[in-house]
Structure 1
Amino acid sequence: MRVVMFGYQTWGHRTLQALLDSEHEVALVVTHPKSEHAYEKIWDDSVADLAEQHGVPVLIRNRPDDEELFARLKEADPDVIVATNWRTWIPERIFNLPRHGTLNVHDSLLPAYAGFSPLIWALINGEKEVGVTAHMMDEVLDAGDIVLQRAVPVGPRDTTTDLFRKTLELFGPITVDGLDLIASGRTDWVKQDRSKASFFHKRSTEDIRIDWSWPAEVLDRLVRAQSAPYPAAFTHHRGKRLEILAARVSEGRYGGTPGRIFYREDDAVVIVAGADARTGRNHGLAVERVRTEDGRELSAADYFTTMGGYLTDRP
């Protein structure tokens, strides 16, 4: 089939490479301009560079809402559009333009975790598996009929970086396999159960600020969710920002006030956690490695030279 691709960053790069390696013809690529936004500088393999290396015409757009773009799309005469990690709304006159519509590839098991940063949110929430969905685009974001889904398990100590690498391997194959199903004449796609849908916003500074009233199990997942190269989860100590780079749930149970710097446990320092920490029934967060406001990385044992005092969410 003749394909136009809307894509961005490493997800789009990997999808485009799979399309170029397939029997389908890539007629045009539309991608976003290079960004200096912190999250968009992560996994930023260039879709434009890859397309140009293979002689595929490229259009750079923040939003696909101008007449020149629409004219170029009609001229390309696609059988189908493929969208992967496209960051802005695609209007109906574009996603319905191709003969077979638009296949969107999203890194969650829809209908759950539509929207932004699904792997991070899923890890924080303790999901047992994550995956990728290829679905037909309609007027509701990430809500169209499902063509294919593929899942991978979440390991007990996986980070978002681990999950990114696992799911990235699915993008190319699910796209090509989805296109093959469309080309075969199949239209019996699976309707999404909207009662099970969830939609997540873009992550920001507030989403990586540690709240010590959360249970240690959730804080452990937050730290792993904000693994490098993502911005690290952070707290404050003596008025200065302190990033938590590595941690685990403590072996022992510790009572008191959330945020208390309390006890050395092996190579870690335990911070009291949980809204009901006063009961003494909670595990704490055993912090293993930190990064100070001036960029120094230290083991928790080297940083916390004495016990006592508190970590807080604000300076």
Structure 2
Amino acid sequence: MRVVLFGYQTWGYRTLEALLTSEHEVALAVTHPASEHAYESIWSDSVAELAEANGVPVVVRNRPDEDVGQALKDADPDIIVANNWRTWIPPHIFELPRHGTLNVHDSLLPAYAGFAPVIWALINGEAEVGVTAHMMNETLDAGDIVLQRAVPVGPTDTATDLFHRTVDLIGPIVVDALAMIAAGRRELVAQDRAKASFFHKRSIEDSRIDLGRPAADLERLVRAQSDPYPNAFCYHGSTRLRIVSAAVSTGRYGGTPGRIFIKEGDGVVIVAGADARFGRNHGLLVRRVRLDDGTERPALAYFRAMGGYLTSHPTS
């Protein structure tokens, strides 16, 4: 089949890699310009550079404008494959190819449609994450499912671990889904819209630590904001602290959320949970912190004395 790619960053790059080594002909690649957004500058392998290196025509746009539409008509594709395209693709674009448009999304749809699904899923304690190939329709990430594959989430997995595991699924799922479509096998599964959820893009604000939340939630937030993502952070007085390693404490501790309380093992326990006053909660065991200048220290070295508080916003 003649294929046009709409893709961006490493997700789009891996998709194009798979297409270039498949039996299909890549007629055109459409991608976004490079971005300095805190999340879009991560995993930023260039679709444009890979396409150009392989003699594939490239159009770089933020949105599918008239030039994209004309380039698509000239390419005369059998199918579009989209992965990590960041803006809406209108029906006159996604319906133009003979077989429509196959979208590849890094979640187990219908849950976690939208943006940063692996990070949101880890924050929420999901048991597995994965990749879905589905046919595009007018509702974002809502079309009928062609193929879906999952990987488990381990108790210490970070968002970086899960990124690598899910991105490795892209090539095989794209090739297998296209083989099914080319062979006329469309055993599609409609998404159950009652089970759908849609998530917004993440920003720095979403990494802010609120010690009123349970320690287990905060520990997952720390893992979900692993390097190279913007780390989970809070404040010690006026100093911003990025929490780069943490766990849930073994002991249960009472008092006021945010209190820098006691040493435990290789870290320092911060009282956590809105109902911490009852003394039934585990705390957040902070193991390593990083300052804004990049200096990283063990929590036991940074917190030389107990007492004081970690807060969501700076204090004098």
Partner-residue secondary structure (3-state), 1:228: coil
The equivalent of 1:244 in structure 2 is 243
Give the whole-Å Cα distance in 1 for the aligned partners of 2:299 and 2:38: 26
TM-score normalised to the size of structure 2? 0.98
Deviations 1:175-203 (A, max 9, x none): 11111111111233100000000000001
The equivalent of 2:44 in structure 1 is 44
Give the whole-Å Cα distance in 2 for the aligned partners of 1:275 and 1:38: 30
The equivalent of 1:170 in structure 2 is 169
Q: CA deviation at 1:153?
A: 0.2
The equivalent of 2:111 in structure 1 is 112
Q: Which amino acid aligns with 1:130?
A: V
TM-score normalised to the size of structure 1? 0.99
The equivalent of 1:5 in structure 2 is 5
Partner-residue secondary structure (3-state), 1:138: coil
Q: Which runs of 5+ in 1 are unaligned?
A: none
Identity across the alignment (%): 73
The equivalent of 1:32 in structure 2 is 32
In the alignment of these two chains, the number of paired residues is 314
Give the whole-Å Cα distance in 1 for the aligned partners of 2:12 and 2:116: 15
Q: CA deviation at 1:262?
A: 0.1
Q: CA deviation at 1:267?
A: 1.3
Partner-residue secondary structure (3-state), 2:142: coil
Give the whole-Å Cα distance in 2 for the aligned partners of 1:111 and 1:308: 46
Contact 2:94 2:100 in 1 (8 A): yes
Q: Which amino acid aligns with 1:12?
A: G
Partner-residue secondary structure (3-state), 1:312: coil
The equivalent of 1:56 in structure 2 is 56
Q: Which runs of 5+ in 2 are unaligned?
A: none
Q: Do residues 258 (structure 1) and 257 (structure 2) align?
A: yes
Deviations 1:228-251 (A, max 9, x none): 000000000012211100000001
Which consecutive aligned stretches of 4+ in structure 1 deviate over 6 angstroms post-superposition?
none
Deviations 1:119-146 (A, max 9, x none): 0000000000000000000000000000
Deviations 1:10-59 (A, max 9, x none): 11111100100000110000000111111111000111111111100000
Give the whole-Å Cα distance in 2 for the aligned partners of 1:114 and 1:182: 23
Q: Which amino acid aligns with 2:308?
A: G
Partner-residue secondary structure (3-state), 1:45: coil
Q: Do residues 267 (structure 1) and 266 (structure 2) align?
A: yes
Q: Which amino acid aligns with 2:213?
A: W
Q: How does 1:291-310 map to 2 (within 5 A)?
A: 291-310=290-309
Q: CA deviation at 1:274?
A: 0.6
Q: CA deviation at 1:212?
A: 0.4
Give the whole-Å Cα distance in 1 for the aligned partners of 2:8 and 2:218: 31
